[in-house]
Amino acid sequence: MKIAVVSGKGGVGKSMLASSLCFYLVKNKRIVAVDGDVDAPNLHLWLGQDERWDKKRKISVFEKPVFDLGKCTGCGKCAQICAFGAIIMENGRPNLNKFICEGCGACEEVCPVGAIKMRPVVGAEVRIKNDVFGFPLVSAQLLPGQTGSGKVVDEALIVADQFSYQTMVIDAPAGTGCPIIAVLKETDFAILVTEPTPSGFADLKRVLGVVDHFGLSFGVVVNKWDLNPTYADKVIDFAGKNFLGKITYDQKIFSALSALKPIMTTDLPAKKEMEEIFNSLSQRKVFGP
Ligand code: SF4
Ligand code: SF4
């Protein structure tokens, strides 16, 4: 069973909910947690963990061109074909801006003298903590200036799959692009988190389009509902039978995060509210028998 905690925009409480779900489930199930938010992974912090990892592995999911200037005739075809403007001819020689290059390989294809070869580049890191409150955590992080976050998510999910588990909890990346698609294509149930703001609501609808594309069952949680109760009601009406529950805004949540204290180890109101949400999912057999 794979459960993804998803949001259309960042900062709405997705990692808080995912970390709390791990604490809830581990009482009765073998779980593995995955931080798929590879551009800004922080699930380990919500789980009260520091930056020390039991295992770290650099991975390559992306290729960039390497030029053999000894062979290059300076014809400029590579610069002409590059749709991203990543190659500029300077003094009759191609000059690559690796931060713009999308790794499409077109330049290699058109070079008439075989002076360009696509080569893998190290673009991300997969980190593992073997025992976080009794379960493993897999966290992937894109390195600065690198792209290919969807493939990095794929890699994190493959690594997590190698653990023996009954339920995988995935803290999904925000948005509607490749990384979230990489998560949802593997997911059985999506918990959508939003906040009562126009942008939160608009992004909820956008990410729902992706959830619907994969035909997934889902539920909606409204975080910080009391910051705008009228707007929260609007979101709840929209969610209809898929509404799962709401969480109250509490400044103390951020104090707990700063102190690396997971919310489920506190006595904050949010803990009880999330437990109620998880209990209702459990009653609906979302977490399996
Ligand atoms: S690999 Fe594609 S994006 Fe990168 S320099 Fe070559 S043509 Fe441009
Ligand atoms: S296409 Fe090949 S030969 Fe022509 S400028 Fe680029 S690298 Fe040099």
| Helices 14-25 and 269-283, packing angle to 10 deg | 60
**pLDDT 10s digit of each residue in the chain, 289 long?**
999 999 988 889 999 999 999 999 999 999 999 999 999 999 999 999 999 999 999 999 889 999 999 999 999 999 999 999 999 999 999 999 988 998 999 999 999 999 999 999 998 999 999 999 999 999 999 998 787 789 999 999 999 999 999 999 999 998 888 999 999 999 999 999 999 999 999 999 999 999 999 999 999 999 999 999 999 999 999 999 999 999 999 999 999 999 999 999 999 999 999 999 999 999 988 887 7
63 neighbors 156 (Cβ within 8 angstroms)? no
Q: Which atom of ligand 1 is nearest to the CA of 64?
A: 1
Give the pLDDT confidence score for residue 243 in this predicted structure: 96
- Calculated CA dihedral for residues 254, 259, 260, 265, nearest 10 degrees: -80
Does 75 sit in the ligand 2 pocket, CB within 6 Å? yes
> Measured between alpha carbons, how far is 114 from 119 in angstroms, rounded to an integer?
14
Domain 2-59+124-283 class? Answer: alpha beta
Decide yes or no: CATH 3.30.830.10 for domain 64-121. Answer: no
| Alpha-carbon span 197 to 200, nearest angstrom | 5
Cα 144 from Cα 154, distance rounded (Å): 19
For ligand 1, the distance from its centroid to the CA atom of residue 196, given in whole angstroms, is 42
Give which of 42, 108, 73 is closest to 260, Cα–Cα: 42
Indicate which residue's Cα is closest to atom 8 of ligand 2: 72
CA 192-198-201 angle, 5° bins? 20
Ligand nearest to the CA of 65: 1
Q: Is the CB of 88 under 6 A from ligand 2?
A: no
Q: Is 94 in the pocket of ligand 1 (CB under 6 A)?
A: no
Which pair of tokens denotes residue 242? Answer: 């898929």
- For the entire predicted model, the pTM comes to 0.89
Domain ranges (residues) in the chain: 2-59+124-283, 64-121
pLDDT at 140: 95
Pick from 158, 154, 164: nearest CA to 130: 164
Determine the pLDDT at residue 94.
97
